[in-house]
Homo-oligomer: A and B are copies of this chain.
């Protein structure tokens, strides 16, 4: 458990540090690259809104009217870009080039961090706020097309563990509707730290990716259930607000990616902390979610037709839950969530007998997971030598962000239930 806590804290820090500029530590920066004036409204804008825009260099240009403000900044990818005011009180500013794909961002108006009124809003970095999609060379795989459509359905259900109604989303493939007697396999798919059950369908574009893959014959039709892996407080558990105390998950002296020094936490493990996220979510998944899905939907309710995957913290949850329940899931995926090691699996006879695909991925800019001895590629190689059907994938030129995870799902979905 100590190792798990340490790794999860590292991912939390990575996620948090990747998000927003902190003025005290990261002074505002000017845009230094010459800008090509071919800016177009972002696809993630609210209907009819011109800003934010993106140009062919993948720079983001934001604009807002704030006549009485003395400072307005565009806060994206850990930096705040100063914006400038025109004679009408309209502020405009442009970022450096961004990676392809989806990024959270916000505006800073005289010290207030607020959503940009031009963008649509997404849940991440522990808040609903602005997001922007930077066009990508491979965006076709997550673009809505006129192919047979499944649907993302909003689901409320009773949790016996938490004694309350919970909320999740289920993807049902087109054939669920057109072939009313057929039963389907199910993937349980989890989000990362600071995100919630909306992430995979909104930022992740799960339904669109699956509809396109199934239409091309590249994936078999299966159901996906997406739940909230951080909503895990049980009656009697301590208040999770404790988890949000200042400094939690923030970079420490442990290294460049902000991991904590290995060892006991000051004061020891905190009840209701990451142990809660792991153990309580495991209990909710096995007691409430899977039985509910298998009761309410036409599901092939056996191990060979059950998969679990997740991104970042959701990948850690996947690793922990599948190791602790080795005969429950035949297909396992960790996206930017670290790796399964030879130590994890060399004596795991039940896991090995059960597992049909073990998939590990990372963004190419997540160097510790993408390159070298700790990489997903090296881990897959080691696990193949143990006899596993292990796969790895590195998303070109992306970091710990949604483009990595869209691509990871796109790869993983083609491997499972076949």
**Pick the contact of A155 from B48, B89, B151, B158 — CB < 8 Å?**
B151
A153 x B151 contact (CB < 8 A): yes
A180: B residues at CB distance < 8 A:
180-181, 298
Q: Does A244 contact B (CB under 8 A)?
A: yes
- Which residues of the other chain, B, contact A156 by a CB distance below 8 angstroms? 144, 149, 208
Asked if A207 is an interface residue, CB under 8 A from chain B, the answer is yes
Flag A144-185 by CB within 8 Å of B: 1 or 0 each: 111001011111111000000100001010000110110000
**CA–CA, A165 and B126, complex, Å:** 32
**How many A residues touch the partner, as a band?**
35 or more
Q: How far is the CA of A127 from the CA of B158 in the complex (A)?
A: 33
Q: Are B154 and A64 in contact (CB under 8 A)?
A: no
**Segment from A67-75, A215-223, A343-351, A389-397 that makes contact with B:** A67-75
1/0 per residue A208-233: CB within 8 Å of B?
10000000000000000000000100
Q: Does B152 contact A46, Cβ atoms closer than 8 Å?
A: no
Which of A110, A117, A201 has the most B CB atoms < 10 Å from its CB? Answer: A110
**Would you call A112 an interface residue if the criterion is a C-beta within 8 Å of the partner chain's C-beta atoms?**
yes
Q: Does A129 contact B (CB under 8 A)?
A: yes
For the complex, is A111 an interface residue (Cβ under 8 Å from B)?
A: yes
State whether A110 touches B151 (Cβ < 8 A): no
Which of chain A's residues 65-94 have a Cβ closer than 8 Å to chain B?
65-72, 89
Which of B47, B68, B117, B158 contacts A129, CB < 8 Å? B117
How far is A111 from B85 in the complex, measured between Cα atoms in Å?
Answer: 13
A248 sits at the interface (CB 8 A): no
Query: Which partner residue on chain B sits nearest A49 by CB separation?
Result: B127
Docked Cα-Cα span, A70 to B67, in Å, equals: 11
* A109-B114, A110-B69 known; A165 vs B144 contact (CB < 8 Å): yes
> How many angstroms between the C-alpha atoms of A113 and B177 in the bound complex?
44
Which residues on B sit within 8 Å (CB–CB) of A46? Answer: 127-128
Q: Which of A117, A129, A145 has the most CB of B within 10 A?
A: A117
Residues on the B chain within 8 Å of A196, using CB: 47
Is residue A115 within 8 Å, beta carbon to beta carbon, of the partner chain? yes
Per-residue contact bits, chain A 232-253, to B (CB 8 Å; 1 contact, 0 not): 0000000011001000000000
In the A-B complex, the 10 residue pairs with the closest CB atoms: A66-B112, A67-B111, A68-B110, A69-B110, A68-B111, A153-B153, A151-B153, A114-B114, A152-B154, A146-B158
A residues within 8 Å of B by Cβ? 46-48, 64-72, 89, 107, 109-115, 117, 120-121, 126-129, 144-146, 149, 151-158, 165, 170, 172, 177-178, 180-181, 196, 201, 207-208, 231, 240-241, 244, 296-298
